[in-house]
Amino acid sequence: MSNITLHTLTARKQAGEKFAVLTAYDATFAHLVSSAGIEMILVGDSLGMVLQGQSSTLPVTVDEMAYHTASVARGNQSAMIMSDLPFMSYSTPEQAMDNSAKLMQAGAHIVKLEGGDWLCDSVRMLAERGVPVCPHLGLTPQAVNKLGGYRVQGRDRQSALKMIEDAKKLEDAGASMLLLECVPTLLAEEITRNVEIPVIGIGAGHHTDAQVLVMHDMLGITPGRRPKFVKDFMTEADSIEQAFRLYGDQVRAGTFPGPEHGFE
C-alpha cells in the first residue's frame, strides 16, 4: 500500500472523493487503523480524556503529544499522521515553530492548531518552513472555558460569516487542511465549497471532504453520554479492525454521517 500524502488527499478533494480520519495514540492501534485503510491518523490531545482520565484536553503537554506521536509512527503502515499542538503551545509564531518541530521530528506529517484568523502569522511561518498545518475551527475544545461549554458554533449569521472569512484567510496564509467541529451542516458545506484545501468534519455534516472520530467513541467504549455526531460501529462489526473498515467505507460512500449526526 502506498503512503498517503498531502498530495493524495488534496487530489481526493479535487476528484470529489472523501477520506476517513481516526484517532490513535499507540503503535498497536495505529497498525490496526492504517491496515484497515484509514487514510489519516489523528494523534489528538483528546488523549487527555480517553487515556489520562482528565476532564478536558487542557492538561496535555507537548512532550506527551510527542511521545504518543512517536508511538503511532512506529505502528503506522501507510496513513498520514496529524498531531495536535496542545493548549498554550502555539501562542506566538516562534512557539508554534519550536513545538511543531518536536511533533514533526517525532513522526507527524502535519500539525493541527485551534483558532481563527489570529493564527495566520503562525500558519504562514510554519508553511514557509515546510510544516503543513491544519487549523481547527468551530468548537475548539482548548477554548471550552471561554466558549462556555461544548456548544455548537456558527449558528448565528455573524459568527458564521466570521468562520467563513477565517477559513479563507487561513487558506491564503498557507494552511494545508481545515477541521470543522460542531458547526451547522449548511455552514460546513459553504466553507468546504469555498476553499481548495481538504476540509475534515466532526459534527459538521456530510458535505465535508473527510470525517474524523475519536477511536474510543466509534468503538462504543467511551464512558458517559455519547455525542450526537458519534456512531458506534462495533454494533455492525465482529472485530475492531472490521469496525475501522466499516467506518472508512461509510465515510467514503457518504453514508456516514447521516442527517441524525449533524446540526442545523
* SS3 assignment, position 61: coil
Residue 45 labeled ligand binder: yes
Rg (Cα) of the chain, in Å, rounded? Answer: 17
Residue 241 labeled ligand binder: no
What grid cell was written down for 247? 467506518
Q: Contact 109/80 with Cβ under 8 angstroms?
A: yes
Torsion sign over Cα 134, 137, 140, 146: positive
Residue 100 labeled ligand binder: no
Which residue, among 43, 175, 58, has the nearest Cα to 106 in the 3D structure? 43
Residue 64 labeled ligand binder: no
The one catalytic residue in 17, 128, 165, 181 is: 181
Is 181 a catalytic site residue? yes
Strand ranges for 33-87 from DSSP E: 40-43, 80-84
Torsion sign over Cα 102, 85, 137, 211: positive
Residue 239 labeled ligand binder: no
Determine the residue type at 14.
Q
Q: Which residues are CB-neighbours of 177 under 8 A, at least 6 positions away?
A: 6, 9, 110, 132, 133, 134, 197, 198, 199, 200
Other Cβ atoms within 10 Å of 55 Cβ, number: 9
Known catalytic residues?
A: 181
Residues making up the annotated binding site for Mg(2+) are 45, 84, 114
Which residues are annotated binding-site positions?
Answer: 45-46, 84, 112, 114
Positions at the binding site for 3-methyl-2-oxobutanoate: 45-46, 84, 112
